[in-house]
Structure 1
Amino acid sequence: MINAEVSRGGCFLRAIDLYAGIGGWSLGLRLAGVDVVASYEWWQPAIDTHNSNHAGDLRSIDIRKLCLEDLPQQIDLVVGSPPCTEFSYANRGGRGNISEGLKDLVKFLEVVDYLKPTFWALENVPRVAQVLRHGFDDPEHALYRFRHLKPEIAVIDFSDYGAAQARKRCIAGNIPFSLLETYRTRLPSRTLGDVIQNLAAPDVVTDPLWGVTLPVRKLTEAQAEAPLNGEELRMNRESKEFHPVYNNMAFPDPFPQPSRTVTATCTRVSRESIVIADPKAPGAFRRLTIRERASLQGFPITYQFYARSFAEKAKMVGNAIPPTFTYLVAHAAQRTPVKSLPSFDEAGASLVLPAKVSAVTPPDTEGRSYPETRSFRAALPGLRFKSGMRFDLSNDFIDGGANWKVRFFFGPSKDIQEVDLDGSVELDLRHSPLVGSILVGLQGNFARIESKLCSTNPATLQAVWTRRAEGLGPYELTDFLGELSEKLHDALLGALDVDALQYLTAYVVTVADQSVRNGKLPGQRKLEKNAIRILSGFVVADWFNTLSWHDRRQLAA
């Protein structure tokens, strides 16, 4: 909340906030002296949060049905963040309902066109920049009738405008973009580490952005969830460092730079979740608290979040626009010269806690049990080659019980190929004078892994994965198979001459080529470059996939 005695004077602009959410626009505008005369939102938890922090009386309203004649008049600034779900690439891989999302863009622009404010600004995910540009150029498009508004459309990174988070968003409107750009020279650079360390202070917490202070006992939303367990840690690391398609991420998230984008939805196991080394528990890793997420989003430590659960609070924070940026937009709209721009610390002097603080909502806990058909897929260590080429262990349930199989994939994302590892490659090589003796020499290594499997069966492996039993789990099995292929790879390189290695390279290419459904063999150079390691994977996968162990699939766990 902003101290009324401080914020009362100097309101030069009148603004309305469409799709207001929890108040990211309103907070920044009010801290800059703009009078936000009306805000509109439909989601009740966001409304409760907005009202409590801004002493307002918002009520849920379907903005699409908002009557233009009911809007306040003489508005200088219209701002808002229409829902981005249908435009986000995170929604069903970018296959959201664009026509549905357009309804909110149309409504926002209808309001702008009706009120004719001096300035307006719309914020959304980067993809909306393309949607807007296309819409203003296409006579058949729903947005074409607003082309006369002639907005400037830019994709900016909020970390360039004071936030401690790398968050790219589309900003469209007629605000003084060039003046806004000059503000960057006056802004501090904040990092994930700044936020984590400031909020971990033992006695008095200083806001890493706004400078306001609170005793630790008054800091809300600081409850940390339990550290990631071994399985969760492995899954998070795998999804970030060894994703089969997307670029690698650092793990854990590094402190000396802005954080990755804070998302609205995340679980204890996900590629999108920000995971840190817990500064208060050496060796432990955890996700962020609600307060840490909010600070990365630019909300002051006085801001309260009113919702029924940790997940609901994470959603409202992740959907918000950083008030650090909206504060700068408000000053640009007021033509504040860069030399006269009040710092975040100066603006933060007016911040106080609301009369009612938010209720404690316990963080999520680790999963205790999972469906009996819980899926598993993990790449074998040493057998992942980026861009989708990999060996992985996975399960399926085609015939009722759990089937476990090692599979090899290669080729670009739009043309993924798979080699059927049914034992034929291993059989070829065991009869080969080049490789047969090497495999005989490693027979003890193969036998040791088979003996470990004797204590289990496909059903019990699945039961361990679903937390219904103790014993050998699928991640341990992937490690055993990865270690076995590494031993074979090293033995091949150490025993074979150049001619033999070239022969085996050609053999790998032939096996891959025979699996191509149609057309030209994709990724041949990559196959050749990694041929001996791939050959090792072929042998281990063939051996595992044809073990009699699989015949016990229907046995009860």
Structure 2
Amino acid sequence: MMLKTELGKTNISEVKNQEIPDTDLFAVDFFCGAGGVTCGFAKADIKVLGGIDIDPKFKETYEGNNKSLFINEDVSNFAPEKLKDLLPISIRQDNLIFVGCSPCQYYSNLKSDKDKSHAGRLLLDDFKEFVIHYKPGFVFIENVPGLETKVGSPLHKFKLALKKIGYTFDQKVLNAKFFGVPQNRRRFVLIATRLVSKIELPKQLKTKDKIITVMDAIGDYKKFPMVNAGNKDFSSFQHSVANLSALNLERVINTPKNGGSRKAWENNDKLQLECYKSHNGHYDVYGRLHWDKPSPTITTRFIYTSTGRYSHPEQNRALSLREGATLQSFPLDYSFNSTSQGVIATMIGNAVPPKLSQAIGETLKSHWNKWLTSKQEQGH
């Protein structure tokens, strides 16, 4: 699916020997995946020393796009004190951020396989042990809205632990579309600090003309050439598209352009699915995206027309890998290292949108600069 990118020249000794100025913010990205947060923080001029993830498939993508070390560890079985052997961090560093955007399928409101995600439901507890041990100046977590509301969520214990060791926090469900991401993506976000008595999340920009649409993001055919279902793009641009069966292609062809749904062919016995013959609703399935709106939430299955409103607004195919990555706000030159479209789609769909991460990073930096100025004025 792609041309291998040159790996970032990061190794343990180079990272370990870095000198971080006391006035600069830096971070560790737990559950880093393909690097959405690391990419966004770089745009906010926050250095991410390293990303930690259990899945080795992320290493080439993470290090190939970011000047950060990939640490292939299972946080559940990784002793917090060992982290300082790999990265130049210590306890109670005021300019250190711990990022903990753990896998979230278990608390999602989507009908996902909860058995598969059951093992990951307490990763926030594991992250909490690192926060308690190192007590960084700032903490940032992002997850599905269900993390806040579902019975058995570890969030409540996490917040109690933060309070106990002197942190204050702000939390809210934010929609990424209000932060420069061309996508309706609601996520629970919490930021915390032990440096000041009050911290605030960035304000959502609700001005309509600031919301980026699908047309704005992927409507330029010079950047995103017209292609057919099954297109293979082995360049680093990765404009590859999943193939379609003859029947599914006919379904897409019969779905009206620019926001049409399968309702258009619900009375066609050949095209209608058996499971929907006596069921109304779920019209996003096999639906086309709207040009003049943000996309729906980009999931790990966005490359398939049968899993949601992921058919191109006017071409008879699903979204390409690059289009999905762009709707997640990844830069056009961000390459995903794998020979599998499914693996790349998972990397993209599971990522925290870089533009949302950038907004959080800029907010943390603003709080940091105010605290630093106050400290300097007091002569410390």
TM-score of the alignment, normalized to the shorter chain, above 0.5: yes
The number of aligned residues is 312
1:108 is displaced (CA, Å) by 1.5
Task: Give the 3-state SS of the residue equivalent to 2:76 in structure 1.
Answer: helix
CA distance in 1, matches of 2:280, 2:163: 38
The verdict on how the C-alpha distance between 1:245 and 1:202 changes in structure 2, with shifts beyond 3 A counting, is closer
Which residue in the other structure is 2:65 paired with? 53
Asked if 1:248 is matched to 2:283, the reply is yes
Task: Give the 3-state SS of the residue equivalent to 1:37 in structure 2.
Answer: strand
Q: Quote the RMSD (CA, aligned, Å).
A: 3.8
CA distance in 1, matches of 2:224, 2:298: 27
Larger Rg: 1
Match of 1:188 among 210, 214, 232: 210
Which residue in the other structure is 2:325 paired with? 294
CA distance in 2, matches of 1:113, 1:203: 46
Match of 2:50 among 38, 42, 46: 38
Q: Are the aligned partners of 2:179 and 2:204 in contact in 1 as well (CA < 8 Å)?
A: no
Match of 2:344 among 305, 313, 324: 313
Q: Are the aligned partners of 2:172 and 2:189 in contact in 1 as well (CA < 8 Å)?
A: yes
Q: 1:44-443 to 2 correspondence within 5 Å? A: 44-71=56-83, 72-73=89-90, 74=93, 75-92=95-112, 95-96=114-115, 100-131=119-150, 135=154, 145=161, 148=164, 149=167, 151-174=169-192, 178=200, 180-181=202-203, 188-198=210-220, 200-201=221-222, 220-226=237-243, 229-234=246-251, 241=263, 244=279, 246-249=281-284, 251-266=287-302, 268-278=304-314, 284-335=315-366
Letter in 1 for 2:119: E
Which residue in the other structure is 2:372 paired with? none
Q: 1:19-34 to 2 correspondence within 5 Å? A: 19-34=31-46
Task: Give the 3-state SS of the residue equivalent to 1:327 in structure 2.
Answer: helix
CA distance in 2, matches of 1:29, 1:267: 27
Letter in 1 for 2:149: Q
Q: Quick one: percent identity of the two aligned structures?
A: 22
CA distance in 2, matches of 1:245, 1:254: 21
CA distance in 2, matches of 1:136, 1:196: 36
The verdict on how the C-alpha distance between 1:248 and 1:91 changes in structure 2, with shifts beyond 3 A counting, is closer
CA distance in 2, matches of 1:266, 1:239: 16
Which residue in the other structure is 2:377 paired with? none
CA distance in 1, matches of 2:298, 2:46: 27
Which residue in the other structure is 2:14 paired with? none
1:27 is displaced (CA, Å) by 1.0
Q: Are the aligned partners of 1:18 and 1:80 in contact in 2 as well (CA < 8 Å)?
A: yes
Q: Which has the higher contact order (CA 8 A, sep 6+)?
A: 2
The verdict on how the C-alpha distance between 1:78 and 1:285 changes in structure 2, with shifts beyond 3 A counting, is same
Q: Are the aligned partners of 1:219 and 1:301 in contact in 2 as well (CA < 8 Å)?
A: no
CA distance in 1, matches of 2:30, 2:247: 44
The verdict on how the C-alpha distance between 1:167 and 1:179 changes in structure 2, with shifts beyond 3 A counting, is closer
Q: Are the aligned partners of 1:78 and 1:121 in contact in 2 as well (CA < 8 Å)?
A: yes
TM-score (norm 2): 0.70
Q: Are the aligned partners of 2:302 and 2:349 in contact in 1 as well (CA < 8 Å)?
A: no
Q: Are the aligned partners of 2:37 and 2:357 in contact in 1 as well (CA < 8 Å)?
A: yes
TM-score (norm 1): 0.49
Unpaired runs of 5+ residues, structure 1, are: 205-215, 279-283, 338-557
Q: Are the aligned partners of 2:218 and 2:326 in contact in 1 as well (CA < 8 Å)?
A: no
Structure having the higher helix fraction is 1
CA distance in 2, matches of 1:132, 1:29: 32
Task: Give the 3-state SS of the residue equivalent to 1:335 in structure 2.
Answer: helix
1:80 is displaced (CA, Å) by 2.6
CA distance in 1, matches of 2:71, 2:79: 15
CA distance in 1, matches of 2:224, 2:104: 39
CA distance in 1, matches of 2:115, 2:160: 21
Letter in 2 for 1:52: G
